[in-house]
Amino acid sequence: MELSGDWEKLAKKLEKLATDTPQKVGATLKQVAEEVVGEVKEQTPVDTGQLRMGWHRENGGNFKQVVYNNVEYVNHVEYGHRVVYFGKETGKVVPGVFMLKKTIEKLEHVFKNEIGTTIKAEFEK
């Protein structure tokens, strides 16, 4: 069995894929993470605005973006909490809003489509 083809051209294409694709995928990840931040801010309830303004994105390394909120009470709003009054539980429960969870679920297909489109475009060049 003999394989034929333009091996030099294939080698150049593979080399280009190895260098260009990670950068483009990284840029796409950053773009989608920014969309997550924008959407989760819209989903975040507002009292003083501190919680909404607490959402940020940062680069977490190769192919990783981190969306976070350092506001002290973010987990109480996201997941809900029990009401304590002067150190005693009242039996009342404030349900969670799940703004980040809902945002991730809403944008998951966008993420998959964007990454798929980016990678596909690189292979079709």
Q: What is the pLDDT of residues 25-37, one digit of tens each?
A: 889 999 999 999 9
| pTM recorded for the entire structure | 0.79
User: What band does 50 get if pLDDT is binned at 50, 70 and 90?
Assistant: very high
57 pairs with which residues across the strands? 67
Q: Do residues 66 and 30 lie in contact, with contact meaning Cβ atoms separated by under 8 Å?
A: no
Q: What is the pLDDT of residues 79-114, one digit of tens each?
A: 999 999 998 889 899 999 999 999 999 999 999 998
pLDDT score recorded for residue 97? 97
pLDDT score recorded for residue 3? 62
Q: Which residue has the higher pLDDT, 17 or 24?
A: 24
Domain segments of the chain as ranges: 10-124
